[in-house]
Amino acid sequence: MSRWISKKIILSVLKILPYVLLGLTPVVWFVGKGNTIINGIDTNFPLEPVVWFLRRFHVWNNIANGGSDFSSSIAGVFFHLIQVVPYELGLGLQGSQIFSLVF
């Protein structure tokens, strides 16, 4: 009976393994690149994760000109929480970005 259970577990793991490996693709991007991060207009990765996270709790953005409506920013709380937690735990920007991309 236990042998059948072990075989069943191994088969389940083998079915999931390709998806796990594909999910870890972002880690491969950073291998051998030093302390590099991926950033640009469409990646939207914050260089100051704590500031970006705290800014999501306000519905008015006073950064440019006289300010603008920022009420849609509340939706980004969860997304930026995933970036700020590893950063605050000491992983740095690259570690935070890797965690964010894999998550």
Mean pLDDT by 10 residues, the chain (103 residues): 73 90 85 82 82 84 77 82 92 87 83
Structure confidence at residue 88 (pLDDT): 93
Structure confidence at residue 2 (pLDDT): 60
Structure confidence at residue 3 (pLDDT): 65
- In terms of Cβ atoms closer than 10 Å to its own Cβ (0-12, 13-18, 19+), residue 49 is buried
SS3 100: helix
> Angle at the Cα of 47 (from 26 to 62), degrees rounded to 5?
135
Structure confidence at residue 30 (pLDDT): 82
- How is residue 42 written in tokens? 């469409």
What span, in angstroms and rounded, lies between the C-alpha atoms of 86 and 65?
32
- How is residue 21 written in tokens? 């490996």
pTM: 0.69
Structure confidence at residue 85 (pLDDT): 93
Structure confidence at residue 1 (pLDDT): 52
The rounded percent of the chain whose pLDDT value lies above 70 is 95
**Are 73 and 59 spatial neighbours (Cβ–Cβ below 8 Å)?**
yes
Helices (H) and strands (E) in the chain, counts: 5, 2
